[in-house]
Every structure is written in structure tokens, then in C-alpha cells.
Chains A and B, each alone.
Chain A
Amino acid sequence: MDRATFEKLAVEHLDAVHRMALQLAKQPDVAADLVQETYLKALRASATFEERGKGIRAWLFTILHNTFYSDLRKGQRRPTAVGEFFEASDTESAPEDAPPAWDLASLDWEHVDDRLKQAIDDLSPEHREVLLLWGVEGLKYREVGEILGVPLGTVMSRLHRARKILAESLEEFAAELGWS
């Protein structure tokens, strides 16, 4: 892939990369720096891109993730709810409770979106990141695992916890409004 094609493809994913950067960093100026750093690294390593066998979007997310957490560990970027990240263990397991079965379609989505955004904001960074790669970017568990460099079980575990928190939040919301 020549440089110009690579640049064009990379820029096509700028919205997605920025969206994720914003969710990680939570501050627009920090997110902007993070995006630029991600693209600079991607560009400088573009010659090796094809050898890695990933799509360019997944590759950009990988660089973004590594850059964010690398800097985070150095104490350069610290989002509000970062404490849990350091305490998280790779041996985390998923609760075995079954998924809810109530009808989400009964909700008024105009109101639900705000509630959902708030619930997502309240998630820890690593749960939020998995959730967004899955829910917004539509990635498979395996792809999410590759981007984050964690086992499939960890992806599923984090995803389950994030979904559970969101489902509970929506259920509470529905109950408050007498919708369920």
C-alpha cells in the first residue's frame, strides 16, 4: 500500500479514532493530542502495516490504546476513573447470571440515550473501551482482544459487566418512569 493510500484510509477512520480517544481521555484537548500521536505513530510505521494482517481501523485502535495506557502509566494522562484500571486483574471472571429478557423496545429512546451515555461515562475506562469497540465499532470479541492485547475471556468478562451495568441502569430508568 503506498503512502498516499494509507493516509487516505487512515483519515477515513479519524471520527472513530477521535470518538474512542475522547472516551478514554475524557478531555477534548487531551483526546486531540492522543489522536495526533496515534496518527503520527501509525504513519511512521505504515510500511509495516500490511505485514500485520489487521484492518487499518483495528490497527489505529491498537496504537491509540497502547499510547493512551502507556502515557497513563507514566502519569501523563489520567482520566477521572482510572484507579480501577490498575486494580483490574487479568483473571477477572464473568458472573454467570443470565441476560435480562425484558423488552428494550418499550423505552423512549430519546430519553434513554442520555441515560445510556451517562451510564457509559460512569464505567471504568477499560470496561468503556471494550463496550465501545463492541457496540459502536461493531467488532468481534477476537478483534477487541487483539486491539487491547487481552485474552478473549477478559473481553467477554469486561463486556458482560459493562452490559450488566447498562441494563440495570436502563431498568431503573424504566421503573422510574413507570414504563415497566
Chain B
Amino acid sequence: MGTTQQGGSQHGIARTSRARTEDEKLQELAKIEKYRQLEDQVRFHAAQNNYTPEVFQLTSKLLRLNPEYYTIWNVRRRLLISGLLSKPSAGSSPSTASFSTSPTATTTTSSDASSSSLSTATPPAPASPTAGRSGTTADEDGSQGQNKDFDILKSELGFTIPLLLESPKCYWIWSYRLWILRQAIQRLQTSVARRIWEEELGLASKMLTKDKRNFHAWGYRRHVVQQLESPELGGTSMAEPEFEYTTKMINADLSNFSAWHSRSKLIPRLLDERKADDEARKAFLDKELGLIRDALNVGPEDQSLWYYHHFLMLNLVSFVGHPTITPAFTQEDRVTYVLREIEGVKELLEDYDDKLIYEALLDYTLYLCQLEERQPEAGERADLVVWLRKLMVIDPMRSGRWTDMEKNYGLMERRLSMGDETVALVH
């Protein structure tokens, strides 16, 4: 590969510096010259509001060389709005075939007002086309316009793909892609727009297959799902399939914070949609606890698993003021479950020695005390001390924390003996 990328940094692609021969230096200077010319051309035409197909091609070239040049993405948007895409139906001239070089800057609901260094003297924009045209009022020009828009929007999505493959974390490309997708909602029939967004979900899945823990991709996925669920795309809740998706991702790789996190976020809605009664909720909790216990059984060193287990424990213990899985549990139920979980965690100590196990035992014992609104009993206190001592050996970097905790127990003992009952449990 002889090419060197010009322009700003390319995310994650290292710039290798190596000795260049005279020949290579000349070649590079030539490339830089070509790039500069291209850039000057585009900026010139943009400043003149020359929105022609030729200029559009120039932006394609420039963006391929430097996808991070966000001004040029904005120029491209303006090119689309000002002529390549059809005009909105309400009242304006349906001149879809030709397009003018004068600024007609119709307002869209996209958020690139920041880009305009021109077209301040625009005629008042006609009313934005309502989202999700149903097509019933479409005259021949209208449906032709939609077909054209469809082709252009699909083509634009395709344009971003090779750029994304090379620079998968470039915000500007993603931003443009999202803008195009929003255009789809506004300009195309609901069913057509919906299909495009469904394909987008497929893309998000593909990305997550390549990099299961890319939290940008998870965030993107959530956004896409949100759109698909929205009335604008005639959608309904996707809590079930998304929950199933997290199961799939977890099975592929247990160590997936984002998948476990997504899962936890979906649960309240899921249970509501299922209209789960108390029995169903209990069964659901049992299943989740079983799942995470199986996972911890093979991955006790994995923090993401412990986070999820904590999440489930907090469901049992800290249930005032927020939705929980089993709101109808009695105090007795909760205590039973917490005790059972503590026993389950202790079983791990038969074969494992990871510090996260001891930390969990500490936390859960304190949760139990919190739940029962009491201090640790003598037996529990003895256990706590043993676990703390163990942690001081395994995790000496945090000895300060462990010492603090032990002091607090020591403190509590002193205070208790002095009859102070308002001692808060220090975590």
C-alpha cells in the first residue's frame, strides 16, 4: 500500500513514519497538490452556492480522501436539499427534473443549522413535509419524487459504507448517515422508510458481531431501535427481540458489559409488556439469577457478570422508589433470596479464589443486614473479617479501602457496646 492519507487523524489508524525516498516525497507532494486543488474547488463552489451535480461529485472525491472534513459533509447536505432531492409537496413547484443554482434552502428537521455560512437571505421555507408521507395525496410527480429520493438516499447510504469500513469511529460519517435516515422518514412512505431502518438495524448487528463490546455501536443500536419503535415508522415495542438479542450476545461472549447493561434496561418494560403477574415475575427473576449464577460459575473473574448479579441483588434489596422485578415480594421472600445467593457465591470458593467473590460476599452480607435493618451478627462479623483479611492479601493495592472497612466494623463494635443505635452501615 503506497498511499498516505492526507488531512487530519484517522481514528485508530497509525501513521507510520518511515524514511521516504526522494521519489516518494515528490509523489506525496503531487498528491497533496491534487488534494488542495480539490478542496479549493469545492469551497469555491460552495461559497458561490453553485449546487451542481459536478460539485456533488467533487464532494464525493474529497470526502473519500478525508471523511473528517465536516464542512464538506454539510456542503453535500445542502447539495441534496437544494436540488438533488425532490421538493416538499405542499404548494411549491414540483421541478424535480432540473434544479436551480440559486439557494432554495428548504428547511428540514435536520440539525445542521450550524453549517450555514451562506443562504441567510432565503425565502421563507414552505411547511416541512409531515413525517411519513402516506402517499395518498401523491400526484404523479410526488411518487416520482419519492422514487428519486429513495434512490438518492440509498445511494448516499451506500456512499458512507466504504468510508465507515475504513474509519468506523468517525462521528461525521455516522452523523451524515443518521441525517440521511431521518430524511428517509420525512420523504418516503412509512413502509419504505421502515425497511431502510430495519436494514440499519442489521448493520448495527453486523458491527456488534465484529466488535461485541463497542459501546458506540450499542448506543447506535438503541437509537435505531427507538426509531423503529416510533409511530413515525409505524412501530411497536421491540423489547422482546432486543432482550433476545442480548441473550445471543451474552452467549457469544459472557464478558459483555454493554449486553448485560442493555438487558437490565429492558427488563422493566419487558415485564410490563408481558403483563407479568407476581408469579411470572418471580419465575423471571429465578431464571435471571440462574443464568448469571451459571455465568459466574465459569467466569468469577469477570466484573461485568458481577455487575449484573449486583443489579439483581439490588432489585431485591433496594426496592423503594424504583421499578423492580418483584415488587410483591415480602420481606421474608427477599431475605430468603439474598441468603440463597450468598450461599451460591460461597460455593464458588470451593474452586475459585478471585477477589470479586470476596467483595461480593462482603457487599451481600451488608445488604442482608440493611434489609433486616440490623447490624451484622457475631458469626457474620467473623466472616466479614476473614474475607477482608483475604482481600488485603489478594488485593493489596486497595488495602486502604479494606482497612477502612475493617475499622468501621471495629468502630461499630465499639459504638454498639456504647449503646449507640444510630450507627449507619458503612459500605
Partners in one complex: no
Binding site for B on A (CB under 8 A): none
